[in-house]
Chains A and B, each alone.
Chain A
Amino acid sequence: MNYFPDEVIEHVFDYVVSHSDRNSLSLVCKSWYRIERFTRQRVFIGNCYSISPERLVERFPDLKSLTLKGKPHFADFSLVPHGWGGFVYPWIEALAKSKVGLEELRLKRMVVSDESLELLSRSFMNFKSLVLVSCEGFTTDGLAAVAANCRSLRELDLQENEVEDHKGQWLSCFPENCTSLVSLNFACLKGEINIGALERLVARSPNLKSLRLNRSVPVDALQRILMRAPQLMDLGIGSFFHDLNSDAYAKLRTTILKCTSITSLSGFLEVAPFSLAAMYPICQNLTSLNLSYAAGIQGSELIKLIRHCGKLQRLWIMDCIGDKGLGVVATACKDLQELRVFPSAPFGNQGAVTEKGLVAISMGCRKLHSLLYFCHQMTNAALITVAKNCPNFIRFRLCILDATKPDPDTMQPLDEGFGAIVQSCKQLRRLSLSGQLTDQVFLYIGMYAEQLEMLSIAFAGETDKGMLYVLNGCKKLRKLEIRDCPFGDTALLTDIGKYETMRSLWMSSCEVTVGACKTLAKKMPSLNVEIFGEGEQADCYVEDGQRVEKMYLYRTVAGKREDAPEYVWTL
């Protein structure tokens, strides 16, 4: 029942911004559905196969910003064979055909061809922002098209993509009258770029706030760029490799003193030892520091640098900082909210950080809400302490490099430790487990993790009960990804309605059989159930009793997808 004219309701809807809230609005009544769809400008699609591009375009004609995610998360760790899917071309094609005035496209784990980028660059006059995270399939030629044709480009942000370098001059393709750049991130590009073109581009971009360079930009160029852009707030240094006695270095130190707006620092893909001191003057302003690509910085240097960073809220670092270094972080960075500690030797035997570092952090950084921690060991006692000290965790991801290692002090599984985390952190939305774990931990998760949306499990559990505890207990679960666990058909088939409430389920190297997957697919037509192996042909799965190597199921209104490779069998 609407007592207000549409214009009034539209105006009210303007204030409703979050995707889930807008989704809720559209469910209230037909009238609100209609008004909502014509005013919706930003759409987020967490699984590109859950809906067809045509349907999207039809429903939201006023679309300005689209976010798409493609491959399952475990694709990041080489568990999804090449060619599985996640192609963006059909989306760009559909958007181009319609009258949609697309301005922003954000993609994650998708296959982006040069062709798609070219089509994108030519089809939308007002296109402003392209963000590609963990994507692949394109070359610097595609970037050249974007640079050349997108006249009002504000943002080109490339994060951890696999980009083939065609040794072109893509940076030179930004036209001379392009002065709108606000954000440019090409740190992941492996090839050389035209330094002169870069400097000229920076010089004519007065709004440039974020610049992340790749390793091909030498220090003298960096210094000149910083001179031109004192307004920079986010800086990614590619190469910091130079002679400490050189004029270039001395100049740089002076220039950096002027960069008082920089609050976010990253990169250092290559770095000369003992040169970080040049950064000390800006450390006090930093709220975000990402040194997780800087394999060349020693622990002691890291510690010295961080001592100056009192305002840090986000820190991404490598484990060479050590437990002691984390103790320094705990003392210096009282405002820390997000911490990620990456392994510097993923396959080595050195124990760089342990539970001690994490405990120290929990004692000093009470505002911590997001954690990704790669370590060599963890104890229940430590986790219980951390749970007590930091009850505000939203994301808690722990990765013990030896995947099934028990508590080294007690030789017990880590069930109690993780149990304490889920019990204490009532707002926990994302959890990744590791270490030796029995069904008990899943009982705790099902009981306490009421807000949990995403759970990642590897080498854990004992029986189907484990998985069932989670499916039954976690009402808000959206994404569940499991690898190498003894969960089988009973766990999969007990509550099949659950999967319609979730975005996706991934199970690889578990105990699920072909027959069970077939049953599930038959009973739930609203799900796509895909099974595949390691590049094997789909017809190798002939017997129902045969165990499935990889299964990925997701809810969809688009039906079976047309672009699956031969080795993927959609049941």
Chain B
Amino acid sequence: MNEMTRNERESSEERKLELRLAPPGVENWFNTSNNNKQRAYDYDYDYESKLSLGNFLHFPSNKAIVKGKESSSSQTCCPKSVELQNGDNKVTAVSNTSQKRTAPGPVVGWPPIRSFRKNLATSSNSKPSPPESHTQQHNKVAGKKPIDNFGKGLFVKINMDGVPIGRKVDLNAYDSYQNLSSAVDELFRGLLKAQRDSSSCRGNKEEEKVISGLLDGSGEYTLVYEDNEGDRMLVGDVPWHMFVSTVKRLRVLKSTELSAFTLGTKQDKIPT
């Protein structure tokens, strides 16, 4: 909590220099273009073009930067995309951060260890026996509770209606549907906004909309998945660990489309 107030204090002090993007109320984002001119950039930086859709491919990989950069005053010269993400997270930091702080965003290739090592924790301490008995055997002999799957990344593809570029999420980074839903919101919020911006007139006229109600059908979008039998299922019906062990890919559907296709067998699968 202390970190947050420190952030807010610093942010107000350095508002002139810091580039932010946030919904109105927290920060007047119209300042960004002014800030750009005030900044002592060394390189020729075309601010406008960087906001075109293609550049959003860059966005999420900066997630990991956020945590460390919250409080340093040497942030002033950070390029826009980093600060955007930073600002984004600062906003959410005000609202509901506890999940974001404890569950590290899954960044591809970080930490830099070979995939060989990532799988070690799950495959140690048990004889080469059928998979179901792994944890039981481990319990009996080692006398401690089963090791989490933390060593192994479980990356599944996730596509969203209206967004041509898909993402991948590491399901092992989450322990509940709620966390997953927040992560999906974070992942696609920016991309969705970029879609709207590029199809409308130039400039960021729209604010970012939170993608909510993914799990209960109340939002504009609903989260569904394809399981290991090829069936389309609604996310949230089965216990989390069962979901994790059967999910093959995820999809963020427009809720209006839900009735348009059948949730069910392979034959009804809509090609992605």
* Chain A contacts to B: CB under 8 angstroms: 74, 76-79, 134, 160, 188, 192, 215-216, 239, 241, 269-273, 292-296, 342-349, 374, 399, 401-406, 411-413, 432, 435-436, 438-439, 456, 458-459, 462-465, 483-484, 486, 488-491, 509, 511, 533, 536, 540, 543, 545-547, 549
Contacts and interface: CB of A to CB of B under 8 A. Distances in A.
A347 B104 contact: yes
A76 B114 contact: yes
B108 to A, nearest CB: 6
A295 B64 contact: no
Given A79-B108, A543-B54, A459 B74 contact: no
Contacts of A76: 112, 114
B42 A458 contact: no
A187 B25 CA distance: 59
B62 interface: yes
B110 A464 contact: no
Contacts of A401: 111
B41 A270 contact: no
Given A462-B74, A509-B58, A344 B121 contact: yes
A273 B121 contact: no
Nearest to B62: A484
A295 to B, nearest CB: 4
B64 A490 contact: no
A295 B121 contact: yes
Interface in B70-86: 71-72, 74, 77-79, 81-82
B141 A273 contact: yes
Nearest to A510: B58
A273 B72 CA distance: 45
A215 B126 CA distance: 10
B264 to A, nearest CB: 29
B242 interface: no
B150 A345 contact: yes
Contacts of B118: 346
B54 A546 contact: yes
B107 interface: yes
Interface in B129-151: 141-143, 147-148, 150-151
A85 B128 CA distance: 33
Nearest 7 Cβ contacts at the A-B interface: A404-B68, A77-B109, A295-B124, A486-B79, A296-B125, A490-B43, A509-B61
Nearest to A490: B43
A459 B55 contact: no
Given A271-B125, A486-B78, A486-B79, A346 B113 contact: yes
Given A345-B121, A402-B68, 5 more contacts: A271-B125, A345-B151, A463-B42, A533-B57, A547-B54
A540 B54 CA distance: 9
Contacts of B106: 347
B50 A547 contact: yes
A456 B111 CA distance: 13
Interface residues of B, number: 64
B49 A545 contact: yes
A484 B61 contact: yes
A276 to B, nearest CB: 14
Given A344-B121, A458-B110, A549 B150 contact: no
B43 A347 contact: no
9 contacts: A76-B112, A78-B108, A215-B128, A347-B106, A403-B107, A404-B66, A490-B44, A491-B43, A511-B79
Given A345-B150, A374-B111, A458-B110, A404 B67 contact: yes
A404 B64 contact: yes
B201 to A, nearest CB: 18
Nearest to A404: B68
A348 B108 CA distance: 16
Contact of B46 (A349, A411, A545): A545
Nearest to A488: B43
B42 A490 contact: yes
B115 interface: yes
Contact of A403 (B65, B127, B128): B65
Contacts of B50: 547
B126 A547 contact: no
B138 to A, nearest CB: 9
Contacts of A489: 43-44
A445 B263 CA distance: 57
Contacts of B46: 545
B169 interface: no
Nearest to A486: B79
B26 interface: no
Contacts of B126: 270
Contact of A405 (B52, B62, B67, B113): B67
B117 interface: yes
A342 to B, nearest CB: 6
Contact of A547 (B58, B74, B107, B150): B58
